[in-house]
Each structure stands twice: as structure tokens, then as C-alpha cells.
Amino acid sequence: MSLDAQKWELEAIAKHLDPHFIGNSMATIRTLIRQSSDQALHAVAILGKITTFYLKIDNRPWLSLQLEMLMIDKLVNLYEFIKHQKFI
């Protein structure tokens, strides 16, 4: 497969990543933490590369860590409000 074809394929895949991918990745990493910290670190590095690639090809704006943490707090609060229970 040519380099252009590989790039096109990666872009097509990245544009169709959904939240389940992130959830499954995090569940895998959680399991790896218990089994092998080296493999867990490797998985985190791969996930970081995938998300960086995804953000670059989709021309999404980069957010500061402070803004992302604020958004997470709001999502947790919304979850707790809707479910009437604390988020673990």
C-alpha cells in the first residue's frame, strides 16, 4: 500500500473514532496497570499518539489542561445530577 493510501486510511479511521474507543482503551489500560505497568505505559503512549493524530487531521482546537479539567468537573456534576448519585 502506498504512503498516500496509508495516510488516507488512517485519516478515515480517525474521523470515525467514537467515545466507545476511548472507554475501551481506558478499560484496557486499567487492566494492564494491574498486570504490567510497562505495557500500561506503552498503551497510554499509543493512545496519546492516536488522539494527537486525530486532533491534527480534524483541525480541532487545542484546549489548555485547566480548561479540560473544568469541562470534566462540569461533566461529572451533570452525571451526578442526572443519576442522583456520586461519580466514582
> Is residue 27 domain-resident?
yes
Q: Does the pTM exceed 0.85? A: no
Q: What pLDDT score was predicted for residue 67?
A: 81
> Is residue 15 domain-resident?
yes
> Is residue 29 domain-resident?
yes
Number of domains within the chain: 1
> Is residue 72 domain-resident?
no
CA distance 79 to 74: 9
Q: What pLDDT score was predicted for residue 3?
A: 73
Q: Which domain holds residue 23?
A: 3-61
Q: What pLDDT score was predicted for residue 35?
A: 94
Phi-psi region of 63 (alpha: psi -120 to 50; beta: other; left: phi over 0): beta
**Residue 7 three-state SS:** helix
Provide the 8-state DSSP code for 44.
Answer: H
Cα-trace Rg, the chain: 16
> Is residue 75 domain-resident?
no
- Rounded to 5°, the CA angle 63-29-17 comes to 55
pLDDT tens-digit profile of 23-73?
888 899 999 999 999 999 999 999 888 878 777 766 667 677 788 888 888
